[in-house]
Amino acid sequence: MKRVLFTILIMLFFAGTSYADRIRCASTTSTQNSGLFEYLLPFFEKEAGVKVDVVAVGTGAAFKIGMRGDADVLLVHAKTEELRLVNEGYFVDRHDVMYNDFVILGPVDDPAGLRGIRSAPIAFSLINKRGTVFVSRGDNSGTHKKEMSIWKTLDMDPRWNKWYLEVGQGMAKAIRIASEKRAYILADRGTWLAINDSDDLGMEVLVEGDRILFNQYGVMIVNPERHGHVKYDDARKFVDFLISEKGQGLVASFRNKQGKQLFYPNAGK
């Protein structure tokens, strides 16, 4: 018995030391839920000999993790803020990597009558006017930031309305809640397409294609001058891989279980 426990402790001690180098990437739930990392990382890890540990949180939380020095590299989607934080010296070497877009999902019977509308702000104002239930991430994630910026174009604060539900959950969970509540929701297309059982949810894409719904993903490294322990060289290898021809090709060739493309590479464009 004692020997068994001892063995377990030793195993635990060496767990995770098999890679000489490992870097930590703070990223978003939408990227993780899509399965992109599982597809992409083995190529990089084999090529560079660096293991990437992905911690998936909201974009806002990923910023905090990076600013506290608890990650080496970030892959997130809130470009305006990314550029601001680079300017303020928290991060370096920011690059566009890929994009997809946000969509407004709603119940198939569409009680607010959004189908056919092209403009996201007009769709939001209709939801407001008719008071149909709307689910918000409410977690400071990239999607939440985008949603707030759309409300802002209408010059209104939707919070404290009875029809407005801030759920404080990841993207997929928020979509499930919207489905149960027969509510509208702003979601990134990647997560929507990645949900395996989306046919059962009784929801569909009602508004898409507006310029404001463009969703840019970017990569950046935690400034090693702020946090000396950041593995800049290995993180740099990861950034270079993502924006390389090979990395970009892999992003383009990634398909979800239903065979759909979720991300479009646009590094250096």
Partner 1 sequence: MERLFYSIKEAFRLIITLDSEMLGIVSLSLGVSIAAICFASLAGIVLAYALAFRKVPLKAFVVSTMNTFMGLPPVVVGLVLYLLLSRSGPMGFMKLLYTPYAMVIAQVLLALPIITAMSHASLVAVRPAIKYAAKGLGASDAQASIAVVRYARYGIISSVMAGLGRVMAEVGAVLIVGGNIAGYTRVMTTTIALEYDKGNFELAIALGIILLLIALILNSALYMYQRKVYR
When asked if residue 177 is in the footprint of partner 1 (CB under 8 A), the reply is no
Query: Contacting partner 1 (CB under 8 A), which of 198, 244, 261, 266?
Result: 198
- Residue 1 makes contact with partner 1 by CB under 8 A: no
Site for partner 1 in 62-91 (CB under 8 A): 68-70
In angstroms, the Cα distances linking 176 to 132, 146, 159 are 17, 20, 21
Find the part of the chain contacting partner 1 (CB under 8 A) among 30-38, 77-85, 137-145, 149-157. 30-38
Nearer CB in complex with partner 1: 169/248:
169
Burial class from Cβ neighbours inside 10 Å (0-12, 13-18, 19+) for residue 59 reads: buried
> Which residue number, 15 or 20, has a Cβ lying nearer to partner 1?
15
User: What's the min distance (Å) between Cβ of 53 and partner 1?
Assistant: 4
Binding of residue 20 to partner 1 (CB under 8 A): no
Token pair belonging to 156: 């209104």
End-to-end CA distance of the chain: 61
Which 152-171 positions form the footprint of partner 1 (CB under 8 A)?
A: 170-171
* 16 binding partner 1? (CB under 8 A): yes
Q: What CA–CA distances, in Å, run from 269 to 68, 96, 238, 252?
A: 31, 8, 19, 15
Site size with partner 1, rule: CB under 8 A:
33
Of 198 and 266, which has the nearer Cβ to partner 1? 198
What sign for the dihedral angle of Cα 144, 182, 207, 170? positive
Site for partner 1 contains 92 (CB under 8 A): no
Integer angstrom CA distances of residue 31 from 94, 117, 180, 191 = 18, 28, 24, 8
Question: Which residues does residue 57 pair with via DSSP β-bridges, in sequence order?
Answer: 28
Our finding on whether 127 is near partner 1 (CB under 8 A) is no
Q: Does 179 participate in binding partner 1 (rule CB under 8 A)?
A: no
80, 87, 161, 196: which one contacts partner 1 (CB under 8 A)? 196
Q: Estimate to the nearest angstrom the gap between the alpha carbon of 229 and the chain centroid.
A: 26
258 binds partner 1 (CB under 8 A): no
**Nearest Cα to Cα of residue 78 among 28, 41, 25, 124:** 28
54 binds partner 1 (CB under 8 A): yes
| Residue 216 binds to partner 1 (criterion: CB under 8 A) | no
What is the DSSP code (8-state) at residue 238? H
CB of 198 to partner 1, least distance (A): 7
What are the start-end ranges of the H helices in 35-119?
36-48, 59-67, 79-87
Asked whether position 229 contacts partner 1 by CB under 8 A, the answer is: yes
Query: Can you read off the two tokens belonging to residue 165?
Result: 């539900």
Binding site for partner 1 (CB under 8 A): 5, 8-9, 11-12, 15-16, 24, 29, 32-33, 35, 37-38, 53-56, 68-70, 170-173, 194-198, 200, 227, 229
